[in-house]
Structure 1
Amino acid sequence: MSSAAGETRYRVFENGVRNVYYESQLKAFEESSPERKVLEKTELSALLTAIQLASPSASALYSFNSGRIEFVPYQYRPVFKLIRADQPRLLVADEVGVGKTIEAGLILKELQARSDVKSVLIICPKPLVAERKWELEMKRFDEHFSPLDGRLLRHCINETHLDGEWPLQHSKAILPFSLVDADLLFGRQGRGRARDIGLLELGPPPRFDLVIVDEAHHIRNTETLLHQAVRYFCDHAEAVVFLSATPVQLGREDLFTLLNTLRPDLIIDQASFNQMAEPNRPINEAIRVCRRGKEGWADEVRGSLQEVAETDWGRNVLSINPGFQHIYDALGADAGDGISRIKTIQALEDLYTFSSLINRTRRRDIGDFTIRKPETVTTEFTDGQKKLHDDLLDVIQRILLRLHGNVNVRFMMTTISRQAASSLYGLAPLLEDMLNGKLDRLEALELSDADDQNIDFDFLDAVSEDIRSLITRVKTLDEPDPKAEAFVKLVKDKQSLPNNKVLAFSTFRHTLDYLVKKLDAAGVRYGLVHGGVPDEERAELRRRFRLSQDLEEAIDILLSSEVGCEGLDFQFCDCLINYDLPWNPMRIEQRIGRIDRYGQQSPTVAIFNLVTPGTIDADIYNRCLMRIGVFQHAIGSSEEILGEITKEIHSISESFKLTDDERAERLQQLADNKIRQIQEEQQLEEKQGELFGLNLPATSWADKLNQARSYWLEPEALARAASTYLTRRLGKEQEYLLGDKALKTLRINQDGRNHLLEDFRKLPKSNDISFRNWERWLKGNVPTLTVTFDQGCAVESPSAVLLSLGHPLLRQAAQFLQEPETVYTALMVEDPEIPPGDYPFAVYRWLRQGMKQDEELVAVATEAKVSENLFDLLKTLSPGSQNSLPEQEVFDDLDALHHRRWLEAIAEHAEANRQLVGARVQSLTASHQARRTLLEGQLRKASNEKIRIMKRAELDRAEADFARRIVKLQQATEHADIRATPAIFGVLEVRRPK
């Protein structure tokens, strides 16, 4: 601004250029009072849901109701940890049976709700691909994954080389360990001068939004090609999740290797690993002091925190964390009450140095779901059965002697003897299937106690005459079957009880077919599932099995193989019958885990084990399986030991040189040794869990989970938001979401679907199956769609579309319902604590920027109780009078109140961000220097050219990753801010409850 010839002149920055105007050329802008947009209570609820859908907050979990699974609280612990970590990388080291695959699915849905997760790579053992475990589990989250074979993987690598990114049609892929070899990593010579490029040569490398590695302990050897491939994918991934139940003793080197692969910037070498663990001992002591709550507890905790600060990790990392200082300072104030102690315990738990890297949920942490009551049902062979069984064993021994050393022969002979112990009447069809080549790979895997059995029956021609003679003998057996009679009696006895449901297992499909005939004859309603039954049929059988026994289509007993019940839970059933038993204790645990699990409605579950004396199975059962306690309580934490037990059971039982007495003695010795080892492992696990800060109390976790639930993201709120969107977008002439229960019908005519299709095309493009299905319906000619917002209903109704947070309908709703300007509302609520009257309030959206971006809704009111409890009050509203809305000056006063609060918050945020960034840069720089020194040393010592290529590539990736992280941290320092936007102005009329 300047003056010339007595008139003021203004320089104005306009349309990207500077212009000069005299004052007489300018006209004052008179802002007319804008018309207020007033929302009634349903529209307000929809807006609050839309805001939280569009801008996820770190304080809430978004994976609730996101899959066709039962709600199991502890399965959200890994999700909770991942979103609060400084980097989205986590080792899920939960025990077997806790549900690691489900937890990975929840993590995927959480990340999808927060960002545009398009590409996901699952790396796992080949048997899990052959059994379609990951494919089927991800379908429960409405996710479609395609398994890669050698041809498809080579195609993806070539496409990445040519286009610079992984092909979109394989953006959600499953990679088996078995495909990783030298040709994959380093390339290979093709025909002529052609050459297949190697994975490590790709530039740019494939970048996945999420990499999941199952059975991650397989990468513990850093010199293997598998380790190098996994590390390569992880180094270029946005988020990484490792799944492994194996690191039982958490102090072993395996854990260091896994964490070093996950976070090489943090866990550089064994020394840094040990340094990181050091503060956990005084942290544990501080928590114990808090829990005891004796006089002077606060001073003792301060002493423990001083010990923490004296460790290397405490001095360099923890003590400069604002949270650490906040705990220390708070202990010097009035810290005498119980609430202060509880808050201190929760704050101390957040200091555990490994808690953001590892999730370890043990069965005993969750608590016993129920009491197991095992019972042995002994049934003797008849004389004819006994003679046939013994003759059968003689034939098996002759075949083994003749073809000694052939692994496939041993597997087949073991299978035959186990089928005979299970049911002699199922033996003939099994042998015929073997001879005729009708035993498919999935059925062979069901028969095996191993997870990676390679079956080859080429040797059968050499023993076909013996096999055919056995078939003839078996077919002439025509006697009563005491074992089948005992089984039917157990089932019939159960039918007279209020809960008549029975889950029965057999390893053998032909035994199951035999039992079907017996149940048919007895008039018992049954269902049959095994690996060959389609997913839809399994879901339908589960639904019928759950029905009350007085309904005509109900099933009373479900017969199943091992694979048949994978992914299905039966908390409503309290009776299990093992018609025969696997030799693998983990398979037994998985069977029992189908009913002994979270949500079991009975205080006890009955486990009936049918055993026939004189069989090898009976020896294994009595002398080994019963004694290690697998039927009495969950022993999933000892998976590695149970694997050793399985191998030794096979070794003892398949040795044709041992007498019956020698075999029995060896089995007893095996049980004695392994029982002691299991006890030692459990003691060590307890100590290591404390050292690494993983033994969190259940009450603390339950509180955190409840705090992470958002009322505005529950199924009822989502339904309100969707309905509001449809009504406002398509008109109020009709209802679009029909039904008062969880299962609803979405009914929209062709014209309405065309309007929704317009909104759908405004969303970011996605190859997700839910997007494709939604677009197909919008373009189709069917006006109705069965939908639900509730995951429990989705489990029971597999054909219904689950409208989870990431579904395009809700994304369209969130986008449409956003308000560009501040909206107004007048509401009424009854509350006994707040004095009656009218209370103006405001709701602001705060976008925190810095090291991590987060958004929150902030309530402001002149009355403290209204401000503190506004969002709870908004849950139980009635419409208020629009005439009660005050003039804008009242809201301007609230804005001034908010401004003071915002200034305080932004100063605290900037300082906290500065300290966090400084500490992170210091830690990252030290870590990188140590890692670079380590890799350069390994490169110098490399024994061959291929290892040198791997180490050189790893060093280059480390340098690039370090530079990228430093730039990102510098940007976080520059952009630390809180952007505040007024979203809602309103008045709350408070009345006394009548």
Structure 2
Amino acid sequence: MQRRKLLPIRGSHVKRIGEQDPNRTGIIVDNYPETSSVKVHWVHDKTESVQTVDALVNGFRLGTGVIAPTTSDGRKLGEGQLTQYRKIAGQELLLVEFHESNEKRWLPYQLLSQAKDVKHELVTLKHSAAEKVRLKTLAHAITIWNENTGALSNLNIDPLPHQIHLVHHILNSGNLNWLIADDVGLGKTVETILLMSALQHRKQLKSVLLITPAGLTQQWQEEIIEKAPNLPRFNVYGTDFPTKHEHHWFKNDFVVASMDRLKNKDHLNILLDSRQYDLIIVDEAHRLSRRQYGYKLDSSERFELVAELRKQNQNGNLILLTATPHQGMQDKFIALLELLRPERKSDLLKIDVNPEVLSEFVFRNYKADVTDLDGNFVFHGKTTRSVQVQTNEQAIEFDSSLRKYLKRGYSASKALGREGNAIGFVMTVYRKLAASSVAAIHKALLNRLDRLQNQLSSLDSVDIDEDSPFQGEQEESLAQKSSEKEFFSGEIGLLKELIIDATNLLEHDNKSKQFIDTIITKILKNNPKEKVLIFTEYRSTQQYLAKTLQQKIGADSVNLIYGGMKLDERKQQIYDFENTGQFLISTEAGGEGINLQEHCHIMINYDLPWNPMRLVQRVGRLYRYGQLKRVVVFNINSSDSLDEKVLETMYGRVEAVVKDLAQVQSSEFNDALMDDILGEVSSLIDIESILENAQSEAIERTNQRINEAVEKAKESAELQRDLFQHAINSNDVRNDNPININKQHVAAFISGICELLDIEIMSKLHNDEVWQLRIPPNVMELLQTKRSRHDISFDRKIASTRANTQYIDVDSYLMKLFLSHAMNYNFKGKAAHLHAEQLAASAFMACILTWQNSVGIRKRQDFTILSMENGEIVENTEEILNWLLLPANDAENKPHSIDKRRLFQLTQAFAEKKLAVNINLHTFPEKVHWVSAAVIN
């Protein structure tokens, strides 16, 4: 069988068979398939001759830059470097490592042509092209920045600096196992989307399992669709695909699943038996609880769910999202970190003596530190006002009757032991309902009397999910199914008396009256169309307030959100509120997941929750990024009952402690700092136990308990804040000195490319945010487009409202084509002599530094510009970054005093030092890829 001959392409390097001198090589300048011969230009003596391919062998040296042909599937591999040589089946093959894709391929030498690298172009420079150097440098900087942050992708969001830098740091850590613990309202959803977008552009987004609370699965799905249309569609487990068979998992690479559905062993086992996911993201990760009692570990089913997935896929990646990761429980916090990196367990157990280890696990930003792109603080402050409800005779009489009833109920509960738990539960719920509204407790008492008189069936057990945002509604619902038998002898008679007192109080409800007269009336006096968000813990209170407002303001003015609502209903209620409604009344179901900052800045807490953290979460619906006004919060305080007095005292003490801590933290503290600390302190206070004991204790002892609890929370918050000082935040990341790319750089690149390609910018509209382009026919062919007119915009909102206007991001087809053109080898632009009076540097070189992991996957990449100033190498100077924004000018191409070879030695040494500094367990140096260079006159 005759061996088939390959003809070397133009630009390929060859040498004669038997030639020993490595310098006696030639370059193919033409080939003749009909005679299996080629014309060779011999470099050593500058002669040319025609040779048969049988007389030639590979002439490339390892380390040489090459250009590869287009692959059979139409992909352009671009530039690469020869790294290995082998001969098999009589064919000489070279291993090429391609710069852009990080792919490695064995290819016949005949298919490769030499690519002149940056060093060669600068040393032998004859024809300078300064503007091409600038544009090639910008193209690479824009591409790498997006691959590191996702910030320039096709996203319907304008990411903030702290979000961009968080993603940049996580990706360049080489490790995708992190706890993202940013404060409530700082955009953990946006950060997650940015992270996935960046991984997508790195071609490293293969499969994702997003685990969320049950009520947020569809919301996550829709937010990803809305905010990141280029990301793959995430299907909801159990809604978009069935839950019964393993093969359904194989068909779904991107999934959102409820943690409470997956924790069920039947569901979990199907997943474990079917597949693994490259990236697992867990929202509200504080719900994964594992406590340690001595040597015993008590894990929740949710914790075990993630632990099992982690055990199955130890080499996968895990991102945990929660604003409250610590909650004063060090063992629970360490357990979360152990999920991330099980191999670091011994280090985590020593976190008290070595808190610096947190910088490898936790990223945390605070409201007080967050700024916009111009450096202005994002949060505009919050005012909290307490509205004190005046007590009256009816309230005093009702409270007295209720206490008698509760006392009898708690006594019965205690006497029955464990069997009396259901009675104690109902008594506690009645106390909460009474503190919420007289309407809520009145309805509950009527329901209780009806059950006793009509012998209605009762609940079998009390099972409340304390982490659920629907806890109050669950309690209210379960209390309605209380026993059909009397809790104690004479309960029916006592209930009837209590209902009479509740009815009298309902007719003289000062709380409702002040809600309307003192708050609503004054709000609407200032602005009759003002929108107001109202929170209550219970459905019966919500219905009572809705009826009251509809009677006073109008039937169409009120919208409702509560637990159990279908997502479409919930979305419709929010839409109606934002467009035609005026009051949105929400139970705790709205404490997570609804974001109303663009349309509302006033909140009323009709009742104060027993869990202070729920109050922080409520406020977070308005006090978050995008809120352009100062948030105003009204808390309605009533002293009609002992419980309300306890809550009022507790919230007052918390407020005092927060102010104290904020002043200690900063002499110029702001509202955002106070809000940060309020969230920390609130997550550490257990008011439930204080309120449970308040019924049987003197008020002095209850106040003492409050002081002890708040003081303990204060100490824990201080310790927690000290601990989190060692977590990474965006201020730390900015010290890494990366090149920050923004839309000014994109506009500068587009402007320069248009000038170079004779694309006419016919006009600039909307303060230069919209450009109208006319593309000449030759460029239309080059850019593979049939349209000559294109309107582009650098403002997302303008582009979305303007017909036929393309928003310019790296996923827009024009930008893709422009970037590809500028980074193409045939574009040239690798070296130039510049005339730049504003630059102190005598030369610069731009490069991409890359690191890989132990299996050769690229894990980190930095784009950097190294300048020579006074014989020293400096990195990413502000002067060089500003130079990128303006058209570049060529200098006269005359001898330059700088030693170009010495320049390469110094910059190569600097770059390799930077590679070495960033070696860790996850990343090892891969290479330095030089992009462009210039000497400056």
Instruction: Structure 1: give runs of 5+ residues left out of the alignment.
Output: 161-165, 188-195, 281-351, 545-552, 761-777, 925-964, 989-994
Among 356, 377, 385, the alignment partner of 2:387 is 377
Provide the C-alpha distance between the structure 2 equivalents of 1:215 and 1:866, rounded to a whole number of angstroms. 39
What's the CA shift for 1:148?
2.6
Provide the C-alpha distance between the structure 2 equivalents of 1:701 and 1:134, rounded to a whole number of angstroms. 29
Q: Deviations over 1:211-262 (max 9, x none)?
A: 4464255256778543531422551314644646233569x44454444442
Provide the C-alpha distance between the structure 2 equivalents of 1:846 and 1:444, rounded to a whole number of angstroms. 47
What's the CA shift for 1:26?
0.9
Q: Which residue of 2 aligns with 1:956?
A: none
TM-score, with normalisation over the residues of structure 1?
0.59
Q: Which residue of 1 aligns with 2:289?
A: 218
| Residues 1:627 and 2:653 aligned together | yes
| Residues 1:590 and 2:614 aligned together | no
Does the 8 Å CA contact 2:850/2:862 hold for their aligned counterparts? yes
Instruction: Structure 2: give runs of 5+ residues left out of the alignment.
Output: 1-14, 52-112, 116-120, 371-376, 451-455, 458-463, 660-673, 854-858
| Residues 1:81 and 2:169 aligned together | yes
C-alpha spacing 1:861/1:157, structure 2 compared with 1 (3 Å) = same
Q: Deviations over 1:280-333 (max 9, x none)?
A: 7xxxxxxxxxxxxxxxxxxxxxxxxxxxxxxxxxxxxxxxxxxxxxxxxxxxxx
Q: Which residue of 2 aligns with 1:180?
A: 263
What's the CA shift for 1:383?
5.8
C-alpha spacing 1:985/1:485, structure 2 compared with 1 (3 Å) = same
Does the 8 Å CA contact 2:844/2:866 hold for their aligned counterparts? yes
C-alpha spacing 1:393/1:809, structure 2 compared with 1 (3 Å) = farther
C-alpha spacing 1:665/1:634, structure 2 compared with 1 (3 Å) = farther
Q: Which residue of 2 aligns with 1:955?
A: none
Does the 8 Å CA contact 1:47/1:818 hold for their aligned counterparts? yes
Q: Which residue of 1 aligns with 2:716?
A: 681
**What amino acid is aligned across from residue 117 of structure 1 in structure 2?**
L
Q: Which residue of 1 aligns with 2:522?
A: 493
SS in 2 for 1:245: coil
Provide the C-alpha distance between the structure 1 equivalents of 2:689 and 2:168, rounded to a whole number of angstroms. 40
| Residues 1:645 and 2:652 aligned together | no
Larger helix fraction of residues? 1
Does the 8 Å CA contact 1:579/1:610 hold for their aligned counterparts? yes
The number of residues matched between the two structures is 766
C-alpha spacing 1:738/1:11, structure 2 compared with 1 (3 Å) = closer
C-alpha spacing 1:377/1:213, structure 2 compared with 1 (3 Å) = closer
1:51-70 paired onto structure 2 within 5 Å: 51-56=140-145, 61-63=149-151
C-alpha spacing 1:462/1:139, structure 2 compared with 1 (3 Å) = farther
SS in 1 for 2:210: strand
Does the 8 Å CA contact 1:529/1:560 hold for their aligned counterparts? yes
**What amino acid is aligned across from residue 856 of structure 1 in structure 2?**
F
Q: Deviations over 1:434-480 (max 9, x none)?
A: 9999xxx9999665259x97965893694899999999998999846
What's the CA shift for 1:636?
5.5
What's the CA shift for 1:586?
0.6
Provide the C-alpha distance between the structure 2 equivalents of 1:264 and 1:103, rounded to a whole number of angstroms. 24
1:665-744 paired onto structure 2 within 5 Å: 667-689=702-724, 693-694=726-727, 700-701=731-732, 704=735, 708=738, 710=740, 713-715=741-743, 717-718=745-746
SS in 2 for 1:671: helix
Q: Which residue of 2 aligns with 1:228?
A: 307
Does the 8 Å CA contact 2:361/2:727 hold for their aligned counterparts? no
What's the CA shift for 1:119?
1.9
TM-score, with normalisation over the residues of structure 2?
0.62
C-alpha spacing 1:12/1:433, structure 2 compared with 1 (3 Å) = farther
**What amino acid is aligned across from residue 314 of structure 2 in structure 1?**
D
Q: Which residue of 2 aligns with 1:609?
A: 635
Does the 8 Å CA contact 2:135/2:752 hold for their aligned counterparts? yes
Q: Which piece of structure 1 moves more, 151-160 or 623-632?
A: 151-160
Identity of counterpart residues, as a percentage? 16
Larger radius of gyration: 2
Among 584, 590, 613, the alignment partner of 1:564 is 590
Does the 8 Å CA contact 2:207/2:279 hold for their aligned counterparts? yes
Q: Which residue of 1 aligns with 2:930?
A: 980
Q: Which residue of 2 aligns with 1:530?
A: 561
1:563-962 paired onto structure 2 within 5 Å: 563-564=589-590, 566-568=593-595, 570=597, 575-594=602-621, 607-615=633-641, 617-629=643-655, 633-634=674-675, 642=683, 645-648=686-689, 651-652=692-693, 658=695, 662=697, 664=699, 667-689=702-724, 693-694=726-727, 700-701=731-732, 704=735, 708=738, 710=740, 713-715=741-743, 717-718=745-746, 811=816, 814-815=819-820, 818-823=823-828, 844-848=846-850, 853-856=860-863, 858=865, 871-874=880-883, 877=886, 886=892, 899-910=901-912, 913=915
Q: Deviations over 1:758-787 (max 9, x none)?
A: 899xxxxxxxxxxxxxxxxx9xxxx999x9
Does the 8 Å CA contact 1:249/1:688 hold for their aligned counterparts? no
C-alpha spacing 1:243/1:230, structure 2 compared with 1 (3 Å) = farther
Provide the C-alpha distance between the structure 1 equivalents of 2:751 and 2:534, rounded to a whole number of angstroms. 45
What's the CA shift for 1:176?
0.9
What's the CA shift for 1:121?
1.7
Among 91, 116, 141, the alignment partner of 2:227 is 141
SS in 2 for 1:587: helix
Provide the C-alpha distance between the structure 2 equivalents of 1:416 and 1:824, rounded to a whole number of angstroms. 77
What's the CA shift for 1:36?
12
1:504-543 paired onto structure 2 within 5 Å: 504-509=534-539, 511-512=541-542, 514-515=544-545, 518-519=548-549, 528=559, 530-531=561-562, 532=565, 537=572, 540=575
SS in 2 for 1:626: helix
SS in 2 for 1:901: helix
C-alpha spacing 1:646/1:492, structure 2 compared with 1 (3 Å) = same
More RCO (CA 8 Å, sep 6+): 1
What's the CA shift for 1:671?
1.0
1:158-169 paired onto structure 2 within 5 Å: 158=247, 166-167=250-251, 169=252
SS in 2 for 1:269: helix
What's the CA shift for 1:585?
0.5
Does the 8 Å CA contact 1:446/1:562 hold for their aligned counterparts? yes
Provide the C-alpha distance between the structure 1 equivalents of 2:774 and 2:398, rounded to a whole number of angstroms. 67
Q: Which residue of 2 aligns with 1:448?
A: 471
Provide the C-alpha distance between the structure 1 equivalents of 2:227 and 2:422, rounded to a whole number of angstroms. 38
SS in 2 for 1:235: coil
What's the CA shift for 1:27?
6.5
SS in 1 for 2:326: coil
Calculate the aligned-residue CA RMSD, in Å: 6.6
Provide the C-alpha distance between the structure 2 equivalents of 1:21 and 1:605, rounded to a whole number of angstroms. 77
What's the CA shift for 1:424?
4.0
SS in 2 for 1:568: coil
What's the CA shift for 1:82?
1.2
SS in 2 for 1:580: coil
1:370-519 paired onto structure 2 within 5 Å: 374-380=384-390, 418-425=432-439, 448-449=471-472, 459=481, 462=484, 479=507, 481-488=509-516, 489-495=518-524, 503-509=533-539, 511-512=541-542, 514-515=544-545, 518-519=548-549
Does the 8 Å CA contact 2:864/2:876 hold for their aligned counterparts? no
What's the CA shift for 1:900?
3.3
Q: Which residue of 1 aligns with 2:668?
A: none
Provide the C-alpha distance between the structure 2 equivalents of 1:22 and 1:826, rounded to a whole number of angstroms. 25
Q: Which residue of 1 aligns with 2:59?
A: none
SS in 1 for 2:930: strand
Provide the C-alpha distance between the structure 2 equivalents of 1:210 and 1:795, rounded to a whole number of angstroms. 32
**What amino acid is aligned across from residue 482 of structure 1 in structure 2?**
N
Q: Which residue of 2 aligns with 1:951?
A: none
C-alpha spacing 1:734/1:389, structure 2 compared with 1 (3 Å) = farther
Provide the C-alpha distance between the structure 2 equivalents of 1:722 and 1:218, rounded to a whole number of angstroms. 51
Q: Which residue of 1 aligns with 2:278?
A: 208
